[in-house]
Structure 1
Amino acid sequence: MSIKGKTAVITGSNSGIGLGVATELARLGANVVLNSFTDREEDHALAAELAEAHGVQARYIKADMSSPEECRALVEQAGVCDILVNNAGIQHVEPIESFPVEKWNAIIAINLSSAFHTTAAALPMMRKAGWGRVVNIASAHGLTASPFKSAYVAAKHGVVGLTKVTALETAEEPITANAVCPGYVLTPLVEAQIPDQMAAHNMDRETVIREVMLERQPSRQFATTEQLGGTVAFLCSDAAAQITGTTISVDGGWTAL
């Protein structure tokens, strides 16, 4: 995939999609910088495990993606950023009229503004290196909407717009910017919700997945973190050198409806 020896900074990457992306990039020979807002022994151990398993350099850097200063410091502390994957995100579900202002501000900060700050810090490094890839993890909700998710949908639409602007500003350089738009992905967080949904709807596991959780995903299958990792890896490859400013949906047909 032509990324051996490159350095990838992946935000929100000590679990779920971010870890899946980091694992795949490391498997292909990229050095990786993991990130989250915690600073636990297991966070650093996770980086050590990736390094040992794939023979690459891996480190963990704590940074709170709600802080502009820490977003930029993450990239600066990494020292090198050939590949930037903006993945960090949070969610809150509530009608607009009762949506807590602090939740709105936090979602916009972490899901959208963090990508602006990390990109601003990374682009000079990419230009100096003469190569770069920015991959923003948006969502099917970056292309469509659902009720009660005003902040998340607004943020993810913003991520898609930011991706397009980044692509246009780097169009004549060997730097690309694209957004990946997953539907429902089987992460540990989603897995933990399944028993509660089974109890609430009095359904078995497979039925609650197909009829409740994946109601809007025509394939009736979760995307996997490994599939998301492979999609990001493709966008970082030479084969994708002329793919920029666009979105790739990994949503089982959700946005085809």
Structure 2
Amino acid sequence: MDLKGKTAIVTGSNSGIGLGVVRELARAGADVVLNSFTDRDEDHDLARAIGDEFGVTARYIRADLSKGDEARKLIEDSGRCDILMNNAGIQHVAGIEDFPTERWDAIIAIMLSSAFHTAAVAVPMMREQGWGRIINLASAHGLRASPYKSAYVAAKHGVVGLTKVIALETAQDPITANAICPGYVMTPLVEDQIPDTMKKYDMDRETAIKEVILERQPSKDFATVEQIGGVATFLCSAAAAQITGTTISVDGGWTAR
């Protein structure tokens, strides 16, 4: 894989899945733009470290993706966008009657509306450049539902639908749009949840993981951020040039049921 000369923008990428994707794209030679809503020294240090490690140009640009104008400005300020991965996300769990309106609005804005705003700016750039890849991070919850996750499930289903629309609108351009649908991925956030799950159910670590956290994931194993990054990198390859408007599940068999 050789992505030299390409610029990849990954939203929500100073940790977790987004950071894993950034590292794999940089490993393939792409210049990368990291993003989150913070603007700390360590965010910029992280970008510099990735640039030094992989010999690419790496920058960090702050943008609050709950605001459409900032999502659009992120793409504009990057100057170039060959690869766009919409990854930023948040979560809140509650029954529909108790779900706070402000949390619904924030989840839809950050995970669905921001993908619309970034793509709206990126697609004309890609057309002018003659090549582009849009990769949206959906979820197994973009294909299946779970109780108490109304906003998350709605946003991820929306991301899948938006991906299909973008793919159809760019089908005759050298641009593809696809959604990756992970199940449970081992990230620092998930790792932090394991001790609480062990305590709540009075289980050892392995039992808590397999019987509670990964109850819906038939493999009983987490995907890794490197695997998600590898799928994203594959979608940028020549082999994937006719893969567009679809979902790729990385869920240990979750959606096979």
TM-score normalised over the length of structure 1: 0.99
**Partners of 1:99 and 1:194 in 2: CA distance:** 24
Partner SS for 1:195: helix
- Cross-structure match for 2:107: 107
**Partners of 1:201 and 1:151 in 2: CA distance:** 26
Kindly indicate whether the alpha-carbon contact (under 8 Å) linking 1:36 and 1:61 is maintained by their aligned counterparts in 2.
Answer: yes
Q: What does 1:67-216 correspond to in 2, within 5 Å? A: 67-216=67-216
Q: What does 1:41-60 correspond to in 2, within 5 Å? A: 41-60=41-60
Kindly indicate whether the alpha-carbon contact (under 8 Å) linking 1:12 and 1:88 is maintained by their aligned counterparts in 2.
Answer: yes
**Partners of 1:146 and 1:95 in 2: CA distance:** 11
How far off its partner does 1:59 sit? 0.2
Kindly indicate whether the alpha-carbon contact (under 8 Å) linking 1:47 and 1:60 is maintained by their aligned counterparts in 2.
Answer: yes
**Partners of 1:80 and 1:223 in 2: CA distance:** 31
Kindly indicate whether the alpha-carbon contact (under 8 Å) linking 1:2 and 1:238 is maintained by their aligned counterparts in 2.
Answer: no
Listed one character per residue, the Cα deviations across residues 228-247 of structure 1 (whole Å, up to 9, x for unaligned) are 00000000111100000000
- Cross-structure match for 1:236: 236
One-letter amino acid of the counterpart of residue 182, structure 1 = P
Listed one character per residue, the Cα deviations across residues 218-237 of structure 1 (whole Å, up to 9, x for unaligned) are 00000000000000000011
Listed one character per residue, the Cα deviations across residues 12-43 of structure 1 (whole Å, up to 9, x for unaligned) are 00000000000000001000000000000000
- Cross-structure match for 1:22: 22
How far off its partner does 1:3 sit? 1.6
Unaligned runs of 5+ in 2: none
How far off its partner does 1:2 sit? 3.5
How far off its partner does 1:84 sit? 0.1
Unaligned runs of 5+ in 1: none
**Partners of 1:31 and 1:165 in 2: CA distance:** 27
**Partners of 2:229 and 2:133 in 1: CA distance:** 14
Partner SS for 2:184: coil
**Partners of 2:3 and 2:176 in 1: CA distance:** 14
Listed one character per residue, the Cα deviations across residues 154-204 of structure 1 (whole Å, up to 9, x for unaligned) are 000000000000000000010000000000000000000111111111111
Partner SS for 1:66: coil
One-letter amino acid of the counterpart of residue 115, structure 1 = A
Query: Where has structure 1 moved over 3 Å in runs of 4 or more?
Result: none
- Cross-structure match for 2:65: 65
**Partners of 2:21 and 2:241 in 1: CA distance:** 19
Kindly indicate whether the alpha-carbon contact (under 8 Å) linking 1:24 and 1:233 is maintained by their aligned counterparts in 2.
Answer: yes
- Cross-structure match for 1:252: 252
State the number of aligned residues.
Answer: 257
**Partners of 2:142 and 2:198 in 1: CA distance:** 28
One-letter amino acid of the counterpart of residue 198, structure 1 = M
Listed one character per residue, the Cα deviations across residues 67-99 of structure 1 (whole Å, up to 9, x for unaligned) are 000000000000000000000000100000111
Listed one character per residue, the Cα deviations across residues 98-140 of structure 1 (whole Å, up to 9, x for unaligned) are 1100000000000100000000010111011000000000000
One-letter amino acid of the counterpart of residue 196, structure 1 = D
**Partners of 1:3 and 1:132 in 2: CA distance:** 12
* Identical-residue share of aligned pairs (%): 73
CA RMSD between the two structures: 0.5
**Partners of 1:88 and 1:78 in 2: CA distance:** 17
